[in-house]
Structure 1
Amino acid sequence: MTAFFLSFLGVGLAMLAGREGVRVSRIAGAGASEGSLIAMVAVIAIAACALAALLAGEFAQLLSSHQQSWFVAAALVLAGLEVIFLDAPKAPSEPTRSLGAVGIVLFAGVLADASGLLIISLSIATGAPGLVAGGGALAVAGVLGAAAMAGPAWEKLPRLPMRWTIGIILLASALIIAFSPPEVLT
């Protein structure tokens, strides 16, 4: 259960400070159906987190325990830098109203952003990809669902301090894992 809660907490924080919440709030503000958007977010959360955990499970078998700890540290560094330095893009002048197109963009964003890196690294670190995927999916669906319900009000959150705080926490975690004995991960 520790893997589930670590994933829920880490991914939730990364999503809170990340770009996808802003994207979903803008889509909701552009007039997308709230119910359809929340349902799409739930499906995307499950699919993206499951795929990230599956990839991590396959990749973890190729790594020794020492390599796993360095891979986890590298993933945390990338996640931390992404949270700190990559802000949400400017709102498009003509946003698409196609939930299919929005779904593809969100799926790729969840899989490839800090939350995806956290799911991959936690799956490798804990050896419990199913629990990590479950915690991550719940966090992604919760944060993006809240962004969909908040709509344009989501952008009023103090994003810059959140991004720096969460990014520094991720970078500090990477340092701790990189310089800890490999047995700590298991």
Structure 2
Amino acid sequence: MSAFLFSLVAVFLTSLGSRDQVLIARLSGVLGRNYALLVLGCLIAAGTAALMTAAGAHIGAMLPGPAKTMLAAFALIMASAELAWPNRVRKPVEPTRSLGAIGIVLLARQFGDASRFLIFAFAAGAGLSWFAGAGGAIGGIAAVALGWVLRGDLEAVLPLRTIRTVLAIVVGIAAAVIALSARGLIW
């Protein structure tokens, strides 16, 4: 149960200001309250969480304990780097109304984001990886829904760059602690 809650909170927080959330917010601002856009974003968030959970669980099952911990640390390092990377998403000038095209872009943006790296790390390191994956899916869905609800106000209401920088530092420190403990250098 703790893997579920920790994954839910961590994924939601690291999804704040992510490229997919900003895209959903901007498209929702331009297209209006399009419920199909919300459903599509939620389905893709759940699907990418499931795929990253399966990948993390599969690879984690092949590794011994210290290697599994090191894999989780590497995934956290990747998440920290992605959080620190500036998010320069252009505003859609004339957005497409094709849900297929929007879905492809959302899928591509979610596979390389920090939240999916966290889901992978939790699934690789947790004994009950599907609980971590379910928490990550719900956290991702909540972040997409927040972007859809706030629409164009998302970037005005939240200091997204500051949030992502602080989270990059926190996740980077967590990765360093996990990596050092896997090597037996601390604790």
Q: TM-score, normalised by structure 1?
A: 0.92
Matches for 1:117-132 after TM superposition, within 5 Å: 117-132=117-132
Give 1:182 deviation, angstroms: 7.3
Matches for 1:82-101 after TM superposition, within 5 Å: 82-101=82-101
Match for 1:16: what amino acid? L
Q: Which residue of 1 aligns with 2:68?
A: 68
Matches for 1:19-168 after TM superposition, within 5 Å: 19-156=19-156, 157-168=158-169
Match for 2:168: what amino acid? G
Contact 2:26 2:92 in 1 (8 A): no
Identity %: 30
User: Which is further off, 84-93 or 18-27?
Assistant: 84-93
Find the aligned partners of 2:163 and 2:69 in 1 and give their Cα distance.
27
Contact 2:27 2:92 in 1 (8 A): no
- Please list every run of at least 4 consecutive aligned residues from structure 1 whose deviation after the TM superposition is greater than 6 angstroms: none
User: Which is further off, 98-107 or 169-178?
Assistant: 98-107
Q: Which residue of 2 aligns with 1:15?
A: 15
Structure 2: gaps of 5 or more residues = none
Secondary structure in 2 matching 1:142: helix
Q: Which residue of 1 aligns with 2:171?
A: 170
Give 1:43 deviation, angstroms: 1.2
Find the aligned partners of 1:112 and 1:13 in 2 and give their Cα distance.
16
Give 1:104 deviation, angstroms: 1.7
Q: How many pairs does the alignment contain? A: 183
| Cα RMSD after superposing both structures | 1.6
Deviations 1:137-175 (A, max 9, x none): 111111111111111001112112101111111001101
Contact 1:22 1:147 in 2 (8 A): yes
Find the aligned partners of 1:68 and 1:151 in 2 and give their Cα distance.
39
Find the aligned partners of 2:104 and 2:142 in 1 and give their Cα distance.
19
Match for 2:76: what amino acid? L
Q: TM-score, normalised by structure 2?
A: 0.91
Find the aligned partners of 1:125 and 1:72 in 2 and give their Cα distance.
6
Give 1:181 deviation, angstroms: 4.1
